[in-house]
Amino acid sequence: MSAAPEHAPTMAQATLAERIGPFMPVLLVPLLALAGFVAIMNPASWLTLTVSGLAMGMMIFLMASGLTLVFGLMDVINFGHGAFVSVGAFVGITVLMGLGHLTEAPSLMLNLGAVLLAVIGAMLATGAMGWAFEKIIVAPVYGHHLKQILVTMGGLIVVEQLIIVLWGPEEIYFNRPEALKGAITFAGAAIEKYRLVAVVVGLAVFAAMRWVLRRTKIGLIVRAGVENGEMVEALGYRLKLVFVGVFIAGSALAGLGGVMWALYQEVITAHMGNHAMILIFIVVIIGGLGSVEGCFIGALLVGLMQNYIAFIEPKAALISNIALMVTILMWRPMGMIPVVKAK
């Protein structure tokens, strides 16, 4: 009987590429910002563009996060997600216009209070709508992608048309609250105040989502459910309930995103959600379906890319996002941070 072979583990140092690999998606954002700086060569314009790109990215993230979580958790692809964006915008702006005495007052506190009320109204409306949407439209077609896409698309059409019935077919123009108008000058760059607010709100929501997902019991169940739903159910958790909760939360977030987006554009139309869906899809695909972090990074990339390219070559702005998506899918076919593996 021969002796067992000598135990000789090799401790090769991981190469630089291997060590950087996992952090690569996170590094892409500063890299893109740097590339933008090199391409623009003007610190003031670069700063303006970067802030507006980040603001745009944050708003897209708000709208997209619900979609990616819903997909990750229950394998449901909701093409009607844009409906929540539109409804959120219409409800929010209606509330805001009703609070004219608050929004026209030159006080930051009163203005923010009005926006807060509008956001709460929009989130309540879209949350309730999300619950109904899940019950009526999505629930009967679980586990059937083709039907999900068709039915949720149908839901989007119906909601869009209902918005037109309730609010009329014309675009609605409005003004931002007094304190959010105008820009501040910083290091020679004009930065719109509202964009700063959008960045802060986006960061706060992202931090809150991360905290809920990483530090709380419910977040643990959601993450486990994304990873392996059957096992979580076998442990006795009613994943269906969790899912409905996530769907409602995701819809409410889309509503919040809708209000923010509407305030950014200062005009709302029934089709705005449908238009936003295009960017949302690009973001969730390059982020990796099911990943909140990936979605956040993807949203920032898309926002920055769109603003830089629009400055350098306006006509290429649309194509740039498609190009970004193609490049990232060539590099990582499942998106930057793939989460859902086996489904």
Partner 1 sequence: MIRSLLSGDMPRSLPLALILGGILLCLALAPFLFPGVRTVDTAARICIFIVLVASYDLLLGYGGIVSFAHTMFFGIGAYGVALTSTHMGRGFDAIAIGALAGATLAAALALLIGLFSLRVRAIFFAMITLAVASAVAVLVSQLSGLTGGEDGLTFKTPRTLGPAFKFGKEVFDGTLFGVKLNGKLLAYYFVFTGALVLFLALLRVVNSPFGRVLQAIRENDFRAESIGYRVVYYRVAATCLSAAIAALAGSLYAVWLRYVGPDTVLSMELMVDILLMVVIGGMGTLYGAMIGATLFVLAQNYLQNLMGAASGLVEGLPLLPELLSADRWLLWLGVLFILSVYFFPTGVVGRLRGDR
Q: Which residues contribute to the site for partner 1 (CB under 8 A)? A: 77, 79, 137, 140-141, 145-147, 149-151, 153-155, 157-158, 161-162, 164-165, 169, 274-275, 277-278, 281-282, 284-285, 315, 318-319, 321-322, 325-326, 329-330, 333-334
Q: What is the distance between the alpha carbons of residues 210 and 296, in angstroms, rounded to a whole number?
A: 11
What are 326's two structure tokens? 């193609």
Shortest distance (Å) from residue 251 CB to partner 1: 18
Shortest distance (Å) from residue 92 CB to partner 1: 22
Distances (CA, A) of 69 to 60, 201, 305, 336: 14, 19, 24, 15
Burial class of residue 266 (count of CB atoms within 10 Å of its CB; 0-12, 13-18, 19+): middle
Q: Which is nearer to partner 1, 40 or 163 (CB)?
A: 163
Q: Which is nearer to partner 1, 193 or 271 (CB)?
A: 271
Q: How many of the other CB atoms lie within 10 Å of CB of 139?
A: 14
H or E element, residue 38: helix 24-40
Shortest distance (Å) from residue 102 CB to partner 1: 30
Q: Which is nearer to partner 1, 80 or 177 (CB)?
A: 80
Q: Which is nearer to partner 1, 147 or 238 (CB)?
A: 147
Q: Which is nearer to partner 1, 204 or 278 (CB)?
A: 278
CA angle 200, 201, 203 (to 5 degrees): 65
Q: Which amino acid is at 273?
A: G
Q: Which is nearer to partner 1, 43 or 154 (CB)?
A: 154
Distances (CA, A) of 275 to 59, 258, 268, 279, 281: 14, 12, 12, 8, 11
Shortest distance (Å) from residue 292 CB to partner 1: 18
Shortest distance (Å) from residue 333 CB to partner 1: 5
Q: What is the distance between the alpha carbons of residues 11 and 188, in angstroms, rounded to a whole number?
A: 52
Shortest distance (Å) from residue 165 CB to partner 1: 5
Shortest distance (Å) from residue 283 CB to partner 1: 10
Beta-carbon contacts of 71 under 8 Å, excluding residues fewer than 6 positions away, are 77, 78, 284, 289, 290, 340
Beta-carbon contacts of 300 under 8 Å, excluding residues fewer than 6 positions away, are 29, 53, 54, 57, 58, 61
Q: Which is nearer to partner 1, 239 or 324 (CB)?
A: 324
